[in-house]
């Protein structure tokens, strides 16, 4: 069977794409300009049509389903709820959790002497939260975690500990989502 040869006129393709590119750019600029002028006019007449969040002074409220950085739940006495079982460390697909367990004399018996999360590797998947049997690690609404070095993105236990009262909405959402009521 004879092979079928298709000859592509590359110059014609290039010409067509070039024209389409200009047309698409102009169309995009028209859309952007229309929105810009409409919003600017709204501000001028005191009836803004879009809500502007003045970051970082203002915070954009996040829904309970939002997955920001994982944090450790702190109890009323400031101690961690975590019992250093290691399930979150095991569940983390990028191995960014590092735990070293320690022993206590109280009824909990174990606690994380070291609990680090390398946020430069975390992908906000929430598997640590799902794996935890103690509701001790949850996804917070926090996203402002930039640092000037990789070492600055290694978060330690004292930085990760967050009062349970600040995480109640997410904890409720997790209980509902995983049927833990």
Binding site for ligand SF4 (CB under 6 A): 70, 82-88, 91-92, 94, 96-97, 99, 117, 122-128, 131-132, 134, 136-137
**Smallest separation (angstroms) from ligand SF4 to the CB of 55:** 23
What one-character-per-residue DSSP string does the chain give? Answer: -PPP-----HHHHHHHHHHHHHHHHHHHHHHHHHHHHHHHHHHHTT--SS----TTTS-PPPPTT----EEEEE-TTS-BS-----HHHHH-TT--EEEEEEE-SSTT-EEEEEEEEETTT-----HHHHH-TTS-EEE-S------SSSGGGEE-HHHHEEEGGGSHHHHHHHHHHTT--
| Residue placing its CB nearer to ligand SF4 in the complex, 39 or 91 | 91
Measured from the CB atom, the residue of 56 and 63 that comes closer to ligand SF4 is: 63
Considering the complex, what minimum distance in angstroms separates the CB of residue 126 from ligand SF4? 5
Cβ 132 to ligand SF4 shortest distance, Å: 3
Question: CB 112 → ligand SF4: shortest distance, Å?
Answer: 6
């Amino acid at each position: 069977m004879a092979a079928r040869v298709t000859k592509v006129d590359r110059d014609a393709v290039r010409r067509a794409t070039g024209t389409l590119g200009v047309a698409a750019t102009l169309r995009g600029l028209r859309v952007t300009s229309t929105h810009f002028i409409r919003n600017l006019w709204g501000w001028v007449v005191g009836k803004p049509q879009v809500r502007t969040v003045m970051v970082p002074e203002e915070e954009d409220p996040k829904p309970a389903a939002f997955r920001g950085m994982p944090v450790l739940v702190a109890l009323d006495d400031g101690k961690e709820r975590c019992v250093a079982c290691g399930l979150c460390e095991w569940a983390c697909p990028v191995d960014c959790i590092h735990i070293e367990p320690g022993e206590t004399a109280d009824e909990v018996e174990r606690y994380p002497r070291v609990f680090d999360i390398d946020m430069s590797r975390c992908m906000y998947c929430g598997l640590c939260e799902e794996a935890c049997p103690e509701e001790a690690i949850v996804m917070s609404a926090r996203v402002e975690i930039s640092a000037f070095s990789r070492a600055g993105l290694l978060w330690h236990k004292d930085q990760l500990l967050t009062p349970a009262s600040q995480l109640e909405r997410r904890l409720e959402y997790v209980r509902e989502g995983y049927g833990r009521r």
